[in-house]
């Protein structure tokens, strides 16, 4: 274990076999120390970053029928909605009022909306809120659009970018192994389709984030296969400056979903272990976000001892995870205090991880 950890700390690439060995057998604290060493090599300045964003679900209408989702409604359901434009605008105005800079806009796989509806939505937001970064439409949505509209994925990305899209979130990643995807989300994008969206995005000059959801039907080897697939695409699109700015591990939230009682939820130790191994394995992705939305503030803080360098979003609104009964809130001052306890200074960033606040004054002495 020590030689493998030293190898990763030195910046040498782990093989899938080595990654699996660490995931299954390494001591948790040893993984944490190695992951922090890698983080500090990539980010020598002692800071923890965050962004103020809002998760806007423009519709909950979806025909993907994922067992793990408590948020979606079928077409015609009395609780089905498409947000009216003025209501969406009001959400963005509230975001700007507290210094927010980004919207994360995702919806279900709506079977009836046309591409022109989405283009108008993007262009209207860009015109009304030119300072807000539009981080929208997961790869699963874009694959759905491609099939619905009989249009190449790259053309959709190109048209969305022209209308105002600025980056693509990593929703719907789950586990990037088709065996698992056929169990948890058989109607959504398969592995190659999901990854290809980012290949096409990179070709059009867009970046995004990537995710992983653990604690359901995947094996340890399949978790490593997921990381390997991400690493290959990041290499293909430019390495450290490739399509993905950040990686985030989530744990499956089965309560109030079709998976309740069928799986055992991954606990904090398992989350931290996966986080650390991801930091060691993904040598070409610069940033690892803490998953405090599913883990809570304390485990979110601990994730910085297992390779994270970013708190992710101070979400004004979150609907999907909260529908599964998991609701955690962290305020900026709490983030600042918890970061300081780890010797890190909290700094505000934009999507591209550019610092957009003033550096805090440090007393001489």
Which tens digit of pLDDT belongs to each residue from 143-184? 999 999 999 999 999 999 999 999 999 989 999 999 999 998
* Token duo for residue 322: 């909260």
Q: In what order do the strands lie in the sheet with 244-251?
A: 53-57, 102-106, 133-136, 167-168, 207-214, 244-251, 287-289, 310-313, 47-51, 345-348
Confidence band (pLDDT; 50, 70, 90) for 316?
A: low
Which CATH superfamily groups domain 28-348?
Aldolase class I (3.20.20.70)
* Per-residue model confidence (pLDDT) at position 68: 72
- Least confidently predicted of 52-66, 109-123, 188-202, 250-264: 250-264
Q: Which residue has the higher pLDDT, 318 or 171?
A: 171
Residue 142: CB atoms within 10 Å: 24
Terminal alpha carbon distance of the chain: 43
Which has the higher per-residue pLDDT, 28 or 253? 28
Report yes or no: 186 and 154 within 8 Å, Cβ to Cβ.
no
Strands (E) located in the chain: 47-51, 53-57, 102-106, 133-136, 167-168, 207-214, 244-251, 287-289, 310-313, 345-348
pLDDT attached to residue 71: 78
How high is the mean pLDDT of the chain?
91
Q: Which residue has the higher pLDDT, 185 or 247?
A: 247
Name the band, by pLDDT with cuts 50, 70 and 90, for residue 328.
very low
Q: What percent of the chain has pLDDT over 70?
A: 94
Q: Is residue 5 scored above 50 in pLDDT?
A: yes
| Structure confidence at residue 60 (pLDDT) | 92
pLDDT at 322 over 60: no
pLDDT at 325 over 50: no
DSSP H helices in 55-212: 85-97, 115-128, 139-149, 153-163, 178-184, 191-203
Of the ranges 65-69, 209-213, 326-330, which is most confident?
Answer: 209-213
Q: What is the mean pLDDT of residues 239-252?
A: 96
Model confidence at 265: pLDDT above 90:
no
CB 307 within 8 A of CB 275: yes
Tokens of 247: 């990686």
Give the CA distances from residue 58 to residues 118, 324, 328, in Å, rounded to whole numbers and listed in that order.
10, 19, 22
List, as own/partner pairs, every contact residues 113-116 make where C-beta atoms lie below 8 angstroms and the sequence separation is at least 24, other chains included: 113/59, 113/82, 114/149, 115/145, 115/149, 115/151, 115/156, 115/159
pLDDT at 128: 97
Longest Cα–Cα distance of the chain, Å, equals 67
Answer whether residue 271 shows pLDDT above 60.
yes
Q: Band of the pLDDT at 330, cuts 50, 70, 90?
A: low
Ranges of each domain in the chain: 28-348
Q: For 268-362, where are the alpha helices, taking DSSP H only?
A: 268-281, 292-295, 297-302, 320-323, 332-341
How far apart CA 8 and CA 344 sit, in angstroms, is 23
Instruction: Write down the pLDDT at residue 315.
Output: 61
Whether the pLDDT of residue 28 is over 60: the answer is: yes
Residue 214 has pLDDT above 80, yes or no: yes
Classified as helix, coil or strand, 91 is helix
């Amino acid at each position: 274990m020590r030689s493998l950890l030293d190898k990763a700390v030195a910046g040498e690439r782990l093989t899938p076999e080595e990654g699996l060995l660490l995931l299954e057998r390494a001591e948790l604290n040893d993984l944490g120390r190695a992951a922090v060493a890698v983080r500090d090599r990539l980010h020598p300045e002692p800071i923890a970053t965050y962004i103020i964003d809002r998760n806007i679900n423009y519709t909950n209408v979806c025909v993907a029928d994922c067992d793990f989702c408590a948020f979606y409604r079928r077409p015609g359901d009395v609780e089905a909605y498409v947000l009216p434009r003025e209501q969406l605008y009001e959400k963005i105005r509230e975001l700007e009022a507290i210094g927010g800079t980004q919207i994360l806009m995702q919806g279900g796989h709506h079977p009836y909306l046309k591409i022109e509806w989405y283009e108008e939505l993007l262009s209207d937001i860009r015109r009304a809120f030119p300072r807000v970064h539009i981080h929208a439409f997961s790869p699963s949505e874009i694959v759905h659009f491609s099939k619905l509209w009989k249009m190449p994925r790259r053309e959709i990305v190109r048209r969305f970018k022209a209308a105002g899209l600025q980056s693509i979130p990593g929703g719907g990643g789950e586990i990037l192994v088709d065996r698992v995807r056929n169990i948890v989300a058989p109607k959504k994008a398969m592995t190659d389709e999901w990854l290809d969206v980012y290949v096409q995005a990179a070709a059009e000059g867009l970046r995004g984030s990537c995710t992983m959801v653990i604690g359901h039907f995947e094996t340890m080897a399949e978790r490593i296969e997921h990381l390997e697939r991400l690493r290959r695409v990041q290499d293909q699109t430019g390495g450290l400056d490739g399509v993905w700015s950040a990686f985030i591990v989530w744990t499956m939230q089965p309560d109030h979903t079709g998976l309740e009682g069928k799986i055992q939820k991954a606990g904090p130790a398992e989350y931290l272990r996966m986080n650390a191994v991801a930091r060691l394995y993904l040598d070409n992705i610069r940033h690892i976000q803490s998953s405090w939305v599913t883990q809570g503030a304390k485990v979110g803080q601990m994730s910085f001892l297992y390779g994270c360098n970013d708190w992710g979003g101070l979400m004004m609104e979150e609907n999907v995870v909260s529908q599964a009964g998991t609701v955690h809130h962290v305020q900026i001052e709490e983030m600042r205090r918890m970061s300081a306890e780890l010797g890190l200074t909290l700094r505000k960033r934009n999507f591209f991880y550019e610092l957009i606040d003033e550096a805090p004054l440090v007393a001489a002495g």
